[in-house]
Structure 1
Amino acid sequence: MTASATPHASVTSALTAREAAQKLEASFLAEMLKSAGFGKSPSLGGGIGEDQFASFQRQALAEEMVKSGGIGLAESFYVALVEKQNDR
């Protein structure tokens, strides 16, 4: 591996680590939204289809929350992932 390839590889792995951290935070937030009852049908006739798509709505909302700064978990996850990669 050349010296010029090493910085590119570290940038790529840093971006991958950041994306993984953000996805993990989004999954956590989606589960928290589910526990809070977000997306439950109000028994007004949405039926089973509404219940099935509620998870997509929660996931989309969670991803937007992360894009807006989230609750700070992604940064903690990112730091832990980068430290783990550096230990190798």
Structure 2
Amino acid sequence: MPQFNGRPDYQLADALTKVSPKAQARTKATATDFEAVFLNSMFAQMTSGLKGEGPFGDTPGTGVWRSMLTEQYSKNFAKAGGIGISSSVYRELILQQAKSPSQIKGNQT
């Protein structure tokens, strides 16, 4: 039984029966990607005031390197569970898909 705010989520459980496993997997990946984008934005803001120190110095390449690093951090944080955004996004997307008349189980591509 899925949980929502520490309680059984009967609404999500019912919606999951109406959405194919393939669509559920795509929705989970989409929700995780959304959280990674949010975390990337947060990490970019968090590191924007840092000056280049250490082996990279204060070079133009430092900014590029830092942006790639924050992108990887955000992807890893999101995959590891993140801060909870993806679970809420996943729940809402599944509920919307279950209400959609075109989302009849087995007919999704």
Structure 2 length-normalised TM: 0.65
Taking only the aligned residue pairs, the percentage that are identical comes to 25
Residues 39 and 14 (structure 1), Cα distance of their counterparts in 2 relative to 1, 3 Å cut: farther
Residue 35 of structure 1: CA displacement?
A: 1.1
Q: List per-residue Cα deviations over 1:35-87 (Å, max 9, x = no partner).
A: 11269442562411121122211111011111221100000010011111111
| Aligned pairs (5 A) from 1:74-85 | 74-85=86-97
Q: Which runs of 4+ in 1 moved over 2 A?
A: 38-46
Q: Which amino acid aligns with 2:20?
A: S
CA distance in 1, matches of 2:49, 2:82: 19
Aligned mate of 2:24, from 14, 24, 47: 14
Aligned residues: 81
User: What is the aligned partner in structure 1 of residue 78 from structure 2?
Assistant: 66
Unaligned 5+ segments in structure 2 are 1-16, 101-109
Unaligned 5+ segments in structure 1 are 1-6
CA distance in 2, matches of 1:28, 1:86: 26
CA distance in 2, matches of 1:68, 1:49: 29
Structural RMSD (CA): 2.2
CA distance in 2, matches of 1:39, 1:74: 28
Structure 1 length-normalised TM: 0.79
